[in-house]
Amino acid sequence: MQTIKTDLLVIGAGSGGLSVAAGAVQMGADVTLLEAHKMGGDCLNYGCVPSKALIASGKTAYAMSHAAPYGIADVAPQVDYAAAKDHVADVIETIAPVDSQERFEGLGVRVIRERGRFVDENTVEAGDHRITARRIVIATGSSPLVPPIPGLDGMPYITNETLWELRDRPDHLLVIGGGPIGMEMAQAHRRLGSQVTVIEGAKALGKDDPEMAQIVLEGLRAEGIEIAEDAMAREIRGKAGAIEVEAEDGRVFKGTHLLVAVGRKANTDGLNLDAAGIKTTRSGIQVDDGLKTTNRKVYAIGDVAGGLQFTHVAGYHAGIVIRSALFGLPAKTSTKHIPWATYTQPELAQVGLTEAQAKKEHGINLEVVRFHYSHNDRAIAERKTAGLIKVMVVKGKPVGVSIAGYQAGELINLWSLVIANGLKMKHVSNMVAPYPTIGELNKRAAGAYFTPRLFENDTVKKLVRLVQRWLP
Ligand SMILES: Cc1cc2nc3c(=O)[nH]c(=O)nc-3n(C[C@H](O)[C@H](O)[C@H](O)COP(=O)(O)OP(=O)(O)OC[C@H]3O[C@@H](n4cnc5c(N)ncnc54)[C@H](O)[C@@H]3O)c2cc1C
Ligand SMILES: NC(=O)c1ccc[n+]([C@@H]2O[C@H](COP(=O)([O-])OP(=O)(O)OC[C@H]3O[C@@H](n4cnc5c(N)ncnc54)[C@H](O)[C@@H]3O)[C@@H](O)[C@H]2O)c1
- Least Cα distance to 370 among 344, 395, 393, 337 occurs for 393
Q: What are phi and psi of 350, to 5 degrees?
A: -145, 140
Say if residue 157 is in the same domain as residue 175: yes
Domain that holds residue 352: 339-454
Average pLDDT over all residues of the chain: 97
- Least Cα distance to 316 among 296, 344, 290, 342 occurs for 290
> Given ligand 2 and candidates 174, 200, 246, 317, which is best to mutate, with the most ligand atoms within 8 Å of its CB?
200
Q: What are phi and psi of 405, to 5 degrees?
A: 150, -175
Say if residue 26 is in the same domain as residue 135: yes
pLDDT digits (tens, 9 = 90+) for 202-261: 999 999 999 999 999 999 999 999 999 999 999 999 999 999 999 999 999 999 999 999
Say if residue 13 is in the same domain as residue 134: yes
CA 87–ligand 2 middle distance (angstroms): 25
390 has pLDDT over 80 = yes
Say if residue 169 is in the same domain as residue 238: yes
Mean pLDDT of 164-187: 98
Mean pLDDT of 377-406: 98
Asked whether residue 86 is assigned to any structural domain, the reply reads no
Cα 55 to Cα 91: distance, rounded to the nearest angstrom: 12
Indicate which CATH number applies to the domain containing 434: 3.30.390.30
Sign of CA dihedral 38, 44, 48, 52: negative
Asked whether residue 66 is assigned to any structural domain, the reply reads no
Say if residue 449 is in the same domain as residue 374: yes
H-helix or E-strand spanning residue 243:
strand 242-247
Tell me how crowded residue 395 is: count the other CB atoms within 10 A of its CB. 11
Say if residue 259 is in the same domain as residue 270: no
468 has pLDDT over 90 = no
Q: What is the number of the ligand closest to the CA of 42? A: 1
Cα 249 to Cα 445: distance, rounded to the nearest angstrom: 42
Say if residue 346 is in the same domain as residue 444: yes
> Given ligand 2 and candidates 46, 200, 262, 265, which is best to mutate, with the most ligand atoms within 8 Å of its CB?
262
> Given ligand 1 and candidates 9, 33, 48, which is best to mutate, with the most ligand atoms within 8 Å of its CB?
48
453 has pLDDT over 80 = no
Say if residue 286 is in the same domain as residue 183: no
398 burial via Cβ count (<10 Å: 0-12, 13-18, 19+): buried
454 has pLDDT over 80 = no
Cα 43 to Cα 49: distance, rounded to the nearest angstrom: 6
The confidence score (pLDDT) of residue 140 equals: 98
Asked whether residue 212 is assigned to any structural domain, the reply reads yes
Residues 6+ apart with CB under 8 A from 472: none
Cα 175 to Cα 260: distance, rounded to the nearest angstrom: 6
460 has pLDDT over 80 = no
Residue nearest to atom 2 of ligand 1 (CA): 47
Indicate which CATH number applies to the domain containing 226: 3.50.50.60
Residue nearest to atom 48 of ligand 1 (CA): 41
Q: What is the number of the ligand closest to the CA of 267? A: 1
Say if residue 420 is in the same domain as residue 354: yes
Say if residue 254 is in the same domain as residue 273: no
Domain final residue, candidates 263, 284, 305: 263
Asked whether residue 79 is assigned to any structural domain, the reply reads no
Question: How many domains, in total, are found in the chain?
Answer: 3
What is the 3-class SS of 128-175, one letter each residue? CEEEEEEEEEECCCEEECCCCCCCCCCCCCECCCCHHHCCCCCCEEEE
Say if residue 323 is in the same domain as residue 345: no
CA 336–ligand 2 middle distance (angstroms): 21
pLDDT confidence bin for 159, thresholds 50/70/90: very high
49 has pLDDT over 80 = yes
Say if residue 236 is in the same domain as residue 165: yes
